[in-house]
Amino acid sequence: MLVDVEDGARAATRLAGGASLRSTLDVADPADWLALDSGAREAAWRRPQSLPGWKHSVPLPAEPAQLCESRLALALCHRDGRIRQEAVRQSVRHPGLLPLVVIRCADWVRPVREDARQVLREVLNVDSALGLAPLILRLGRRDRGAFGVDLLGRILRQASREQLAVLFVHPDRVVRRFAYRPAVEGGLLRPVELARTAARDQDAVVQDLCAAAAVAALADPDAHEHVLSPLLSARNPRVRSAGVTALRRAGRSEQAEPFLSDRSALVRACARYVVRQQGGDPAAWYRQRCTAPDDPEVPPGAVIGLAECGNRADAGLLRPLLAHPAAGVRARAVAGVRTLDCADVEQLRPLLDDPAAGVVREVVVALLPSAGDLPADWLSERTGSERPRHVRVGAFRLLDARGGIVALRAAVGLLEDPDMKLRTWAAQSVRRWHPSPDERRGDAEVGELLDRSRHLFSDPMLRRRKWEAGVDS
């Protein structure tokens, strides 16, 4: 694989020495062709002796037979536009050079560009377009690359489902997107194939495209089970939400209830919409499941779901769940009381020592607006190296949010911490530190702390920080 211009220059030198294209580069990799195109000009500029016959005064042979494929490939990459143009005309007899013709379709010289486009119009068919699609789409990002993309789109609309299948599994998501569009528009894929693709593919654009097409096929009652099952069981929440919303169209709104406690907020919102449309009350459903604080079967999604559609009075159901044995329930309960604007500092403080990192993260988010009300010494204790890492991180975030000398003291104290990430965050905190307006100027401790961290500042910046704090340099 040619990874950069230097690799391309070395490949050009080997081609000039008589090596074949297939032994020099991966002809199926667009990056190799682009590297060769750039590298050949680089080699001619830096090492002209390595490419004999590349001076501007040396014309191309008049007969194509006089140029082998390797030499014609170099001519297609030549610095002189007149040589590139003649090479484009000669390349018709060498199908293996079509990728370089594609590159010349975006050439900066108009006559070269026009000749290359005419050649591509004449020779491009479905089979060759499938192999060239990754290169054409990559060139489509260039200023003059739209021609190739438009031509590719017209050609692929003539392709069959079997022909496009090779692009459906291509590792480049841009290629997959481009292939699925004509397949969906042409109705080449069955609803169940669309649903499975939406559930399987990792690209959000492909997921949305195929999920929407699969849902549109629900007009056929026979397709309901085969389409809904892959959508509702998909790992991606966007696809699951499409399946949940489609339950109403399929006349199966009652099946949306279990998704009220889904782990995804998007899916829960869609489920609440479907349940309401059939006359249900999602809030009552959530309340029923949150009334037993010791029940190990309480779904975490139901806890946060109640906060999403309930009212402040529902905080009374969530507070007992702060002590639930399941970490997921405790974390959602913290998030729930915060969502309902009912977070009580004294009630949440003990949870900063929770053994579950997810719970501590939620506690920190809930306490950040009240960080100034928390005892600085109590927080500083929790940054000690004997504490669990997630507790130390949470305590430092709260100390940093307090600002002033408290934040500076905590950050400087962690500059030599064994944990690399904590050291990095502490250094960032020190660099962005400024004295609080309500703190007295001239505090000698501030000067001492800044001196301990002087390696993080330039001399002028350190003097400025000390001046802001009223400390003598």
Look at residue 331 and tell me if it is in a domain: no
Q: What is the pLDDT of residue 149?
A: 94
Look at residue 345 and tell me if it is in a domain: no
Task: Please indicate, yes or no, whether the overall pTM of this predicted structure exceeds 0.75.
Answer: yes
Domain hosting residue 265, numbered range: 189-280
Strand ranges (E), 204-266: none
pLDDT in tens, 371-410: 989 999 999 999 999 999 999 999 999 999 999 999 999 9
C-alpha 40/C-alpha 16 separation (Å) is 10
Residues 198 and 88 in one domain: no
The CA–CA distances, whole Å, from 176 to 112, 246, 264, 332, 467 equal: 30, 25, 26, 37, 58
Residues 115 and 6 in one domain: yes
The CA–CA distances, whole Å, from 460 to 302, 384, 456, 457, 473 equal: 55, 33, 12, 8, 10
Handedness of CA 285, 291, 296, 301 (dihedral sign): positive
Look at residue 326 and tell me if it is in a domain: no
Residue 438: which CATH number?
A: 1.25.10
C-alpha 441/C-alpha 229 separation (Å) is 66
Look at residue 129 and tell me if it is in a domain: no
Residue in the block written with tokens 């959508």 = 231
Residues 195 and 115 in one domain: no
Domain boundary (247, 280, 313) is at 280
Residues 117 and 1 in one domain: yes
- Least Cα distance to 340 among 377, 372, 305 occurs for 305
Query: 420: which residues sit within 8 A by CB, 6+ positions away?
Result: none
Look at residue 97 and tell me if it is in a domain: yes
Consecutive H or E run containing 176:
helix 173-185
C-alpha 385/C-alpha 376 separation (Å) is 17
Residues 273 and 373 in one domain: no
Residues 203 and 114 in one domain: no
Look at residue 159 and tell me if it is in a domain: no
Q: What is the pLDDT of residue 59?
A: 39
Look at residue 154 and tell me if it is in a domain: no
pLDDT in tens, 231-257: 999 999 999 999 999 999 888 899 999
* DSSP secondary structure string for all residues of 361-415: HHHHHHHGGGGGGS-HHHHHHTTSTTS-HHHHHHHHHHHHHH-HHHHHHHHHHTT
Residues 6 and 119 in one domain: yes
Mean pLDDT in each 10-residue stretch from start to end of the chain (473 residues)?
Answer: 72 83 86 87 57 43 58 88 90 90 93 94 93 94 91 92 92 94 91 93 94 85 82 94 92 92 96 94 93 81 94 93 94 96 93 96 96 93 94 96 92 93 94 85 88 92 90 72
**Residue 355: exposed, middle, or buried by beta-carbon count in 10 A (0-12, 13-18, 19+)?**
exposed
Q: What is the pLDDT of residue 1?
A: 58
Domain boundary (252, 280, 308) is at 280
Count of domains in the chain?
A: 3
Look at residue 421 and tell me if it is in a domain: yes
> Alpha helix (H) ranges present in 47-109?
69-76, 81-90, 98-104
Q: What is the pLDDT of residue 93?
A: 84
Q: What is the pLDDT of residue 64?
A: 42
Domain boundary (246, 280, 314) is at 280
